[in-house]
Amino acid sequence: MDRKVYSSASLLFRISNCLLLMAKYDFLNYVQMVNFVDKLPQQDRAYFQAILEEGKLVTRTIFHAAVDSTDTSSYRMATQIIMSREFWLDSSGFPREVQSTTEDFPFDESYLFNQKTDDSLHSLKDSRAALQSLGIYMPVPK
């Protein structure tokens, strides 16, 4: 489920980004068309100028809608990443105090956590294994 949420948020982000680029391109085209106003006959200039202003207004509106959509998709992606980390911590079997200290560790984009965090978690796992091998009782976390 979490991969589907992340994939859909990522797709929405990419679509919004493309929409932003197209709206910017459209707006810049309308800005460049202002140079042609002087080449038109006098009776057509006002009409052409009105078309240009309306086109700029439409592209600005599309641009703002795409920015809002990009914000929404980035919030969805961030929420999914946080939910994925929380689920992983809950299912890891670590004690609650270890989970609370690990919640704020930094992460890489391709891994759940970055290398520094992975080293910390492996040393914690190794210390638990060492205590168990010495015969010291380690309660199973719930």
Using CA atoms, how far apart are residues 107 and 86, in angstroms rounded to an integer? 13
**pLDDT at 83 exceeding the cut of 90:** no
50 pLDDT band (50/70/90 cuts)?
very high
- For residue range 118-136, what is the model confidence (pLDDT) as tens digits? 555 555 555 556 555 555 5
Choose one of 75, 92, 109: the last residue of a domain. Answer: 92
Q: Do 26 and 67 reside in the same domain of the chain?
A: yes
Structure tokens at 30: 């309308």
Q: Do 72 and 5 reside in the same domain of the chain?
A: yes
Cβ proximity of 105 and 113 under 8 Å: yes
The number of CA neighbours under 13 Å toward the Cβ of 29 is 11
Q: Do 72 and 108 reside in the same domain of the chain?
A: no
Identify the CA nearest to 94 among candidates 115, 125, 136: 125
Q: What is the pTM of this model?
A: 0.56
Q: Do 39 and 1 reside in the same domain of the chain?
A: yes
Structure tokens at 38: 């002087």
Q: Do 62 and 88 reside in the same domain of the chain?
A: yes
Choose one of 73, 92, 111: the last residue of a domain. Answer: 92
In the chain, how many domains are there? Answer: 2
Contacts of 15 (CB under 8 A, 6+ apart): 69
Which residue range(s) make up the domain with 69? 1-92
Q: Do 30 and 70 reside in the same domain of the chain?
A: yes
pLDDT at residue number 107: 59
Evaluate the CA torsion angle 110, 3, 62, 34 in order and state its sign.
positive
Cβ proximity of 5 and 13 under 8 Å: no
Question: Which DSSP letter does residue 139 get?
Answer: P
Q: Do 69 and 128 reside in the same domain of the chain?
A: no
Mean confidence (pLDDT) of the chain: 76
Q: Do 71 and 140 reside in the same domain of the chain?
A: no
Using CA atoms, how far apart are residues 83 and 123, in angstroms rounded to an integer? 24
Q: Do 2 and 63 reside in the same domain of the chain?
A: yes
